[in-house]
Amino acid sequence: MATSLIDADSVLAIEIGTVSTRVILFDVVEGHYRFLGQGSVSTTSSAPINDVSVGVKAALDQLHDITGRVLFGANGQMVIPSQPNGLGVDACVATVSVGAPLKVVAIGLLEDISAESAKNLASTTYARVVDIMHINDRRGTVERLDTLLQLRPDLIVVAGGIEGGAKGSVINLLEAVGLACYLLPKDERPEVLYAGNSALADQVQSSIGSLANLHVAPNVRQSYESEQLTPSQPALAQIFRQIRSRQLRGIEDVDLWTGNHSLPAATAFGRTIRFISKESAQTRRGVLGVDVGASATTIASAFSGDLILSIYPELGLGENLPEILDLCPVSDILRWLPVDVAEPDLRNYIYNKASYPNSLPVTPDELAIEQALACQAIHLAVRQAIKTYPANVAGSAPGLLPWFEPIIASGSVLTKAPTYAQALMMLLNGLQPTGVTTIVLDRNNIAASLGAAASVAPLLSIHCLEDATNFVNLCTIISAVGKAAPGIPVLRVRMTSENSPESVLEVKHGSLVAIKLPIGQVGRLHLTPLHRFDVGMEGLGRGGTVKVTGGALGVIIDARGRPLRLPAEPARRRELLKNWLEIASSGGH
């Protein structure tokens, strides 16, 4: 039975990932939604099972053993909504990230305007743009047709023409799309998403609607100056669901339980980050979400409720992992290792991990490699995401991460790290935040499920986000940004709190400093920057007072510099990385 409730007490969230399939049960306890338990098994999308629903049902069996909740009736169907005797659940939602990235061809009038917007829209789901077509690419209709027949894309995203703009050129570009769909067997035809000039929608429909699986979404380019991707993303999410339903056996069962409203995991993750941003829209700081998964690294950035979602399949830690070697030299990964690992050994680990994404690091060196890869994936992803941010976002300097509060981190490589300090250093070195921010760890990796559940249980996200057992405050980070010689004092800090004596310290450039502040205890930091250093107080050299709440690792002052520069000499660099990890650990309790 499909989910039809607007509000629900018990909610079952299904996550079908590249490596793991999880089912999570939420229910109302004493007036508040609570995370009750989860079941987790290896995803069964590949041989010999080739059916994702088998993994889902195995995870549901685990959940039953843990919670005692019976979800299926005598007929073998999931019971939705729940019955007075406790059988079933009120609502079911699902997120999906398993599967190869969608092959996408982006089409637009102008390469650096509408074609770029089509490409950017595709990047908001698990996709890889394999070709870009525009009116100046010098290919005729026959050559474009040959390209489409050769590539066999899963999806063609078409943009072009601002509102009230060009018409004829867009229809000409679509000629090759119509011909390709005519020549391909029905079950091999790509989905076509038209997100261009709305005045052309009817003409596009009459031109290729009978040949293609056509979807129409709002124009991503209302004007030359403005790109609006968010309104078109729901249509893209539904296309992703339809394609996955064809590609992966068992998705249809999950769709039935959710009422055909399963979402790409990254889309659901972005919903949660956007929700947090809307709740804190009164500040100039954005909200940042980082999810490091096997299928992709996702950067979700929201400013006053406006979401910028960037998904990087080439930076996933699963079967696509070797692609990281095409994006950076091996030395960029080796620099994050606190142990001595030879380059061939690093490469071997990368290729073995890609072949066996379920494998776990079993030695200290393998753990260090896994964390170094995560750090570099975060670093590369956020450097790309920065390029998509509006010019007016608040921050310390162009090219650096702008001010965010908070930063939400998810993904097993972070949440299952042996210590909180290791998770923090992956994030701190990869993101290199500026200003004052709180880093929060999504300990149970439920942020995406909360986004998916928002439409059926609006209070679920609020209650679970407020629950410190789900979202752990790692620490508050104060980053001092500026130019000075190493060892020069750049910041004076005085901390006061109700239950601890006043402490005063002087922070030197190049250092990382941990200040103990018990979890949940409120303190005040009085910051006095020197040498015109920026500490996020709205100006170079400007100080002020910041209210902070103690996290699992206290408060961290990061004066190591932005961008972070590591010593070239390997032994010295490894020693420094170990020292930073020890300092981060010292802020804990």
What would the pLDDT profile of 123-157 be if each residue is shown by its tens digit?
Answer: 999 999 999 999 888 889 999 999 999 999 999 99
Main-chain phi, psi angles of 139, to 5 degrees: -100, 140
- Percent over 70 (pLDDT), the chain: 97
The pLDDT confidence band at residue 1, using thresholds 50, 70 and 90, is very low
**How many CB atoms are closer than 10 A to CB 479?**
26
Residue 269 has pLDDT above 90, yes or no: yes
Lowest-confidence segment of 331-345, 366-380, 387-401 by average pLDDT: 387-401
Per-residue HEC secondary structure of 31-83 comes to CEEEEEEEEEEECCCCCCCCCHHHHHHHHHHHHHHHHCCCCECCCCCECCCCC
List, in sequence order, the alpha helices (H) in 209-357: 233-247, 251-258, 265-279, 324-327, 330-334, 343-355
Q: Could you tell me if 465 and 535 lie in one domain?
A: yes
Q: What pLDDT, on the 0 to 100 scale, is given for residue 3?
A: 41
Q: What is the mean pLDDT of residues 522-531?
A: 94
Residue 166 has pLDDT above 70, yes or no: no
Residue 282 has pLDDT above 70, yes or no: no
For 77-103, what is each residue's pLDDT tens digit?
Answer: 888 888 888 899 999 999 999 999 999
Residue 443 has pLDDT above 70, yes or no: yes
Q: Is 520 left (phi over 0), alpha (psi -120 to 50) or beta?
A: left
Indicate whether 580 belongs to any domain: yes
Q: What pLDDT, on the 0 to 100 scale, is given for residue 466?
A: 84
Residue ending a domain, among 198, 231, 259, is 259
Q: Could you tell me if 213 and 111 lie in one domain?
A: yes
Residue predicted with more confidence, 330 or 173: 330
Residue 68 has pLDDT above 50, yes or no: yes
Indicate whether 196 belongs to any domain: yes
Q: What is the β-pairing status of strands 11-16 and 20-29?
A: antiparallel
Indicate whether 107 belongs to any domain: yes
Residue 4 has pLDDT above 60, yes or no: no
Q: Could you tell me if 176 and 220 lie in one domain?
A: yes
The pLDDT confidence band at residue 281, using thresholds 50, 70 and 90, is low
Residue 2 has pLDDT above 60, yes or no: no
H/E run at residue 170: helix 168-183
Asked whether the beta carbons of 109 and 169 are under 8 A apart, the reply is yes
Q: Could you tell me if 162 and 200 lie in one domain?
A: yes
Strand order in the sheet with 544-549: 500-508, 489-497, 522-529, 544-549
Q: What pLDDT, on the 0 to 100 scale, is given for residue 84?
A: 87
Q: Could you tell me if 496 and 531 lie in one domain?
A: yes
Residue 354 has pLDDT above 50, yes or no: yes
CATH code of the domain covering residue 54 = 3.30.420
Q: What is the β-pairing status of strands 404-410 and 286-292?
A: parallel
Indicate whether 5 belongs to any domain: no
Q: What is the mean pLDDT of residues 534-554?
A: 91
Q: Which of 193-207, 285-299, 465-479 reaches the highest mean pLDDT?
A: 285-299
Q: What is the mean pLDDT of residues 51-73?
A: 93
Lowest-confidence segment of 18-22, 179-183, 454-458 by average pLDDT: 454-458
Indicate whether 1 belongs to any domain: no
Indicate whether 289 belongs to any domain: yes
Residue 58 has pLDDT above 90, yes or no: yes
- Give the pTM: 0.93
Q: What pLDDT, on the 0 to 100 scale, is given for residue 283?
A: 66
Residue 172's alpha-carbon distances to 150, 176, 200, 341, in angstroms, are: 20, 8, 12, 55
Q: Distance between CA atoms of 370 and 349, rounded to whole angstroms?
A: 9
Q: Could you tell me if 422 and 507 lie in one domain?
A: yes
Q: What is the mean pLDDT of residues 329-350?
A: 96
Q: What pLDDT, on the 0 to 100 scale, is given for residue 105?
A: 97
Q: What is the mean pLDDT of residues 340-355?
A: 96
Q: Could you tell me if 89 and 200 lie in one domain?
A: no
Indicate whether 3 belongs to any domain: no
Q: Could you tell me if 58 and 112 lie in one domain?
A: no
Indicate whether 6 belongs to any domain: no
Q: What pLDDT, on the 0 to 100 scale, is given for residue 74?
A: 85
Q: What pLDDT, on the 0 to 100 scale, is given for residue 588?
A: 67
Residue 168 has pLDDT above 50, yes or no: yes
Task: Print the domain residue range for 398.
Answer: 266-586
If one counts the domains in the chain, the total is 3
Q: Could you tell me if 432 and 448 lie in one domain?
A: yes
Q: What pLDDT, on the 0 to 100 scale, is given for residue 589?
A: 62
Q: Could you tell me if 298 and 410 lie in one domain?
A: yes
Asked whether the beta carbons of 276 and 287 are under 8 A apart, the reply is yes
Residue ending a domain, among 230, 259, 288, is 259
Q: What is the mean pLDDT of residues 438-456?
A: 94
Q: What pLDDT, on the 0 to 100 scale, is given for residue 5?
A: 39
Residue 446 has pLDDT above 90, yes or no: yes
Half-sphere exposure of 535 (CA within 13 A, CB side): 28
Residue count (the chain): 589
Q: Could you tell me if 253 and 242 lie in one domain?
A: no
Residue ending a domain, among 259, 293, 316, is 259
Q: What is the mean pLDDT of residues 340-362?
A: 95
Give Cβ neighbours of residue 247 (< 8 Å, ≥ 6 apart): 99
CATH code of the domain covering residue 147 = 3.40.50.2300
Q: What pLDDT, on the 0 to 100 scale, is given for residue 112?
A: 86
Instruction: Please provide the average confidence, as pLDDT, over all residues in the chain.
Output: 91
Q: Could you tell me if 241 and 159 lie in one domain?
A: yes
Residue 194's alpha-carbon distances to 114, 189, 225, 424, in angstroms, are: 12, 15, 20, 42
Residue 7 has pLDDT above 60, yes or no: no
